[in-house]
């Protein structure tokens, strides 16, 4: 088991963070920070020094106590003092420390008073104005925290899933062509289908003398080799994307796959279950004493703690383990379950293709129906349709449907929700459509109360069918507008209308947790490509990823209905 200096430095940093949250003696905290810095600047591997029995206390910043922890880490693979701290302080609290203005004391307070453990929860609480109730937090602090979270997110350089995929798949294929390589799997957040990924974590099984490491570092997209050893290497691609590669023995693949797929929070829970059964679970296998009892497949790892296989998308420690134990895991939706797409654009507004081209592309994507939903007049930058042009388009769709085979076009519009919550076109014309997709395209800065009221009012309109990209966010670019999403979900339930899961990689809007909320409240989602050209239907798979992360099953999604049933459902809704 190779231990690198960075592993040890990271442990010391982590311990310093956790001790600070615990309000420990500042001298102790500083000792850990100094040690981390010292370890990082060493010219040689600590593991090697340990193996040779050298005296570590000779190193700057390393006393007897810290030297013992290094030895413990190298020889046993763990540090008991860190595990003890983790039992007291949730690991995600460390992330909160990276927000300027949030010191350990405040992090502790947020956790104790509001149960905030993650940046996500912090952002939500701040936007909801709940921080102001805490001593020492005012409206200004709250705003600063929101801004800082935004800055922090863009700073840590993440890649859209769809971007990462462009680099990941060719690299995986390249590695797969190496002599002696048996399997290549991209694990980590990528395998969990997260909307953005920080880096790629690739696992490979190979015969002993496979040149896979050399081939990896020689890959022509590699800009920098950060580290490379016999079983692990890290490179930065020219794109800036970091890739971690690990070569694991075939009999450990399941254990490694489970470990490196994460999430960390999920892994910790699984390991805990193992501990309760006297098992040690790590990236090498599941061990009873010295004896490996599982680890070749992921199924065997789950089975060792009495669980069925949990799909990667669910592994976020959001109740999937309990659900698995109780046999309540969802049967996740798949791409082939989609029968149609209810949101796309043509040249009539801001699309790049005509209606027929879009229809044929949708048919080739295996769809049975496609709703044409160009923009409405208020969105003048997109050359939105007024009443007259929309009526012409309706006629054009009728004519086209007579000619087309294997695909049916539905009549729709992406109508602007105006500032007061009214719709951009009159009922008299909306009544002639199969469906009406409503969207917010301006006044993003309204207060949460006003924005929510605006949306709720729009949803009450007689011909409102689907609320498009409900939060308005653009990943890594623009935060969601302030809106009370649980209220919106509730209103959709009462009104019997639908919410969109916009599948554009930059949107993926609704986000996973809100998809799940909608499912729990019985509100159907429509997974729409929002295509602006014939290539757009390929994005549906990104929407499916997101839906799976939101625990959605086929029956939770409107456009899994075959056309006849969809029509019936829409007619009921449109009165
Ligand atoms: P990312 O890259 O930020 O999008 O997210 P992940 O989930 O891919 O995280 P990454 O690349 O840091 O690590 C990959 C997986 O390895 C992670 O999901 C779980 C596992 N892992 C990494 N560090 C730890 C750790 O300290 N403890 C445990 N239990 N698992 C870890
Ligand atoms: Ca990763
Ligand atoms: Ca990684």
Q: Using alpha carbons, select from 178, 124, 110, 60 the residue that is nearest to residue 482.
A: 124
Half-sphere exposure of 201 (CA within 13 A, CB side): 18
The answer on 40 and 127 residing in a single domain is yes
DSSP conformation letters of 378-445: T-GGGT-B-HHHHHHHHHHHHHHHHH--S-EEEEEEEEEB-TTS-BSS-HHHHTTSSEEEEE--S-TT
User: To the nearest whole percent, how much of the chain has pLDDT over 70?
Assistant: 98
The answer on 125 and 192 residing in a single domain is no
Give the model confidence (pLDDT) of 324-340 as tens digits. Answer: 999 999 999 999 999 99
Closest ligand to Cα 261:
1
Q: What pLDDT is recorded for position 149?
A: 85
- What is the distance between the alpha carbons of residues 314 and 548, in angstroms, rounded to a whole number? 8
Q: What pLDDT is recorded for position 93?
A: 87
The answer on 147 and 165 residing in a single domain is no
Beta-strand runs (E) in 127-241: 159-160, 181-186, 196-197, 199-206, 222-228, 232-237
Q: What is the CATH number of the domain that holds 136?
A: 1.10.150.110
Last residue of a domain, one of 247, 282, 303: 247
Give the model confidence (pLDDT) of 47-70 as tens digits. Answer: 899 999 999 998 888 999 999 999
User: Per-residue pLDDT for 557 more than 50?
Assistant: yes
Q: Specify whether the CB–CB gap between 239 and 251 falls below 8 A.
A: no
259 lies in some domain = no
Q: What pLDDT is recorded for position 431?
A: 96
Q: What pLDDT is recorded for position 86?
A: 87
215 CA from centroid of ligand 3 (Å): 19
Which residue minimizes the CA distance to atom 19 of ligand 1? 262
CA end-to-end span of the chain: 66
User: Per-residue pLDDT for 462 more than 60?
Assistant: yes
Q: Specify whether the CB–CB gap between 97 and 270 falls below 8 A.
A: no
Please give the average per-residue pLDDT across 365-388, as a whole number: 95
The answer on 313 and 280 residing in a single domain is yes
Q: What is the CATH number of the domain that holds 227?
A: 3.30.460.10
Please give the average per-residue pLDDT across 116-128, as a whole number: 90
Which residue minimizes the CA distance to atom 17 of ligand 1? 262
Of the listed ranges 86-95, 109-118, 361-370, the least confidently predicted one is: 86-95
Q: What pLDDT is recorded for position 136?
A: 85
Q: Specify whether the CB–CB gap between 464 and 436 falls below 8 A.
A: yes
Please give the average per-residue pLDDT across 59-86, as a whole number: 92
Please give the average per-residue pLDDT across 211-235, as a whole number: 94
Among the atoms of ligand 1, which is closest to the Cα of residue 192? 7
Distance of CA 477 to the CA centre of its chain: 15
Q: What is the CATH number of the domain that holds 310?
A: 3.30.210.10
Please give the average per-residue pLDDT across 254-271, as a whole number: 97
User: Per-residue pLDDT for 314 more than 60?
Assistant: yes
User: Per-residue pLDDT for 472 more than 90?
Assistant: yes
Last residue of a domain, one of 214, 247, 280: 247
User: Per-residue pLDDT for 568 more than 90?
Assistant: yes
Which residues line the pocket of ligand 1, CB cutoff 6 A? 188-189, 194, 197-199, 201, 259-260, 262-264, 267-268
Which residue minimizes the CA distance to atom 2 of ligand 1? 198
Please give the average per-residue pLDDT across 444-460, as a whole number: 97
Which residue minimizes the CA distance to atom 1 of ligand 1? 198
Sign of CA dihedral 432, 434, 438, 441: negative
256 lies in some domain = no
17 lies in some domain = yes
More confident residue, 436 or 478: 436
Sign of CA dihedral 343, 346, 349, 352: positive
User: To the nearest whole percent, how much of the chain has pLDDT over 90?
Assistant: 75
Q: What pLDDT is recorded for position 1?
A: 40
531 lies in some domain = yes
Last residue of a domain, one of 247, 277, 310: 247
3-state secondary structure of 171: helix
Pocket test for ligand 1, best of 159, 201, 313 (most atoms within 8 A of CB): 201
255 lies in some domain = no
User: Per-residue pLDDT for 307 more than 70?
Assistant: yes
262 lies in some domain = no
549 CA from centroid of ligand 1 (Å): 17
Mean residue pLDDT across the chain: 93
Pocket test for ligand 1, best of 78, 86, 189, 236 (most atoms within 8 A of CB): 189
342 lies in some domain = yes
Per-residue confidence at 220, pLDDT binned at 50, 70, 90?
confident
Per-residue confidence at 90, pLDDT binned at 50, 70, 90?
confident
Q: What pLDDT is recorded for position 565?
A: 98
Give the model confidence (pLDDT) of 19-38 as tens digits. Answer: 989 888 989 999 998 898 78
User: Per-residue pLDDT for 75 more than 70?
Assistant: yes
Per-residue confidence at 97, pLDDT binned at 50, 70, 90?
confident
Which residue minimizes the CA distance to atom 16 of ligand 1? 260
The answer on 69 and 186 residing in a single domain is no
The answer on 125 and 42 residing in a single domain is yes
The answer on 164 and 145 residing in a single domain is no
Q: Specify whether the CB–CB gap between 427 and 463 falls below 8 A.
A: yes
Read off the DSSP letter of residue 54.
-
Per-residue confidence at 155, pLDDT binned at 50, 70, 90?
low
Q: What is the CATH number of the domain that holds 556?
A: 3.20.20.140
Q: Specify whether the CB–CB gap between 479 and 124 falls below 8 A.
A: no
327 CA from centroid of ligand 2 (Å): 29
* Cβ density class 53-75: b for 16+ within 10 Å, e for less: eeebeebebbeeebbebbbbbbe
379 lies in some domain = yes
Per-residue confidence at 349, pLDDT binned at 50, 70, 90?
very high
Q: What pLDDT is recorded for position 282?
A: 96
Please give the average per-residue pLDDT across 538-561, as a whole number: 97
Which residue minimizes the CA distance to atom 24 of ligand 1? 264
Give the model confidence (pLDDT) of 263-304 as tens digits. Answer: 999 999 999 999 999 999 999 999 999 999 999 999 999 999
The answer on 400 and 549 residing in a single domain is yes
The answer on 186 and 134 residing in a single domain is no
Q: What pLDDT is recorded for position 154?
A: 63
User: Per-residue pLDDT for 471 more than 80?
Assistant: yes
Q: Using alpha carbons, select from 248, 166, 258 the residue that is nearest to residue 505.
A: 166
Count structural domains, the chain: 4
Full residue range of the structural domain in which residue 357 is found: 335-574
The answer on 167 and 149 residing in a single domain is no
The answer on 450 and 431 residing in a single domain is yes
Which residue minimizes the CA distance to atom 25 of ligand 1? 264
149 by Cβ neighbours in 10 Å (0-12 / 13-18 / 19+) ranks as: buried
The answer on 474 and 356 residing in a single domain is yes
199 CA from centroid of ligand 3 (Å): 5
Q: Specify whether the CB–CB gap between 467 and 459 falls below 8 A.
A: yes
Give the list of residues 6+ apart from residue 347 with CB closer than 8 angstroms, or none: 353, 354
Please give the average per-residue pLDDT across 343-354, as a whole number: 93
Q: What pLDDT is recorded for position 202?
A: 98
> What tokens were used for 60?
């700057």
Residue 101: phi and psi, rounded to 5, are: 95, -10
Please give the average per-residue pLDDT across 443-451, as a whole number: 95
């Amino acid at each position: 088991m190779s231990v690198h200096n960075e592993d040890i430095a990271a442990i010391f940093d982590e311990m310093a963070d956790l001790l600070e949250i615990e309000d420990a003696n500042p001298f102790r905290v500083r000792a850990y920070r100094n040690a981390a810095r010292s370890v990082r600047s060493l010219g040689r591997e600590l593991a090697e020094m340990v193996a040779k029995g050298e005296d570590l206390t000779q190193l700057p910043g390393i006393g007897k106590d810290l030297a013992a922890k290094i030895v413990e880490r190298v020889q046993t693979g763990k540090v008991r003092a860190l595990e003890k701290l983790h039992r007291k302080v949730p690991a995600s609290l460390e992330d909160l420390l990276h927000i300027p203005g949030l010191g350990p004391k405040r992090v502790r307070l947020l956790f104790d008073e509001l149960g905030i453990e993650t940046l996500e929860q912090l952002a939500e609480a701040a936007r909801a104005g709940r921080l102001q109730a805490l001593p020492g937090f005012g409206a200004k602090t709250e705003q600063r925290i929101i801004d800082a979270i935004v800055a922090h997110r863009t700073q840590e350089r993440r890649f859209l899933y769809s971007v990462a995929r462009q680099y990941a798949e060719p690299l995986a294929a390249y590695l797969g062509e190496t002599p002696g390589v048996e399997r290549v799997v991209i694990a980590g957040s990528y395998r969990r289908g997260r909307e953005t990924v920080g880096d790629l974590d690739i696992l490979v099984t190979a015969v002993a003398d496979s040149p896979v490491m050399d081939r990896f570092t020689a890959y022509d997209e590699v800009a920098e080799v950060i580290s490379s050893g016999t079983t692990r290497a890290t490179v930065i691609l020219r794109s800036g994307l970091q890739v971690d590669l690990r070569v694991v023995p075939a009999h450990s693949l399941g254990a490694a796959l489970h470990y490196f797929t994460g999430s960390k929070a999920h892994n910790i829970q699984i390991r805990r279950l193992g501990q309760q059964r006297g098992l040690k679970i790590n990236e090498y296998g599941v061990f009873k004493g010295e004896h490996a009892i599982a680890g070749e497949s992921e199924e065997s790892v789950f089975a060792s703690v009495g669980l069925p296989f949990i799909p990667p998308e669910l592994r976020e420690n959001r109740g999937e383990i309990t659900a698995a134990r109780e046999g309540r895991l969802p049967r996740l939706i798949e791409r082939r379950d989609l029968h149609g797409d209810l949101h796309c654009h043509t040249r009539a507004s801001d699309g790049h293709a005509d209606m027929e081209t879009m229809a044929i592309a949708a048919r080739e994507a295996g769809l049975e129906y496609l709703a044409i939903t160009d923009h409405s007049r208020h969105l003048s930058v997109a050359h939105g349709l007024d009443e007259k042009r929309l009526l012409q388009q309706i006629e054009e769709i009728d004519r086209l449907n007579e000619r087309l085979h294997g695909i049916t076009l539905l009549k729709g519009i992406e109508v602007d929700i105006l500032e007061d919550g009214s719709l951009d076109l009159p009922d008299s014309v909306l009544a002639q459509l199969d469906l009406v997709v409503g969207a917010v395209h301006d006044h993003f800065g309204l207060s949460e109360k006003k924005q929510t009221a605006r949306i709720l009012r729009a949803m009450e309109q007689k011909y409102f069918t689907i609320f498009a990209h409900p939060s308005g966010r653009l990943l890594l670019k623009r935060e969601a507008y302030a809106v009370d999403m649980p209220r919106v979900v509730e209103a959709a339930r009462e009104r019997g209308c639908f919410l969109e899961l916009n599948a554009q990689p930059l949107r993926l809007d609704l986000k996973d947790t809100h998809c799940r909320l909608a499912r729990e409240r019985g509100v159907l989602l429509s997974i729409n490509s929002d295509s602006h050209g014939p290539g757009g239907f390929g994005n549906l798979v990104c929407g499916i990823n997101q839906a799976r992360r939101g625990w959605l099953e086929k029956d939770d999604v409107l456009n899994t209905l075959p056309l006849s049933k969809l029509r019936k459902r829409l007619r009921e809704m449109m009165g």
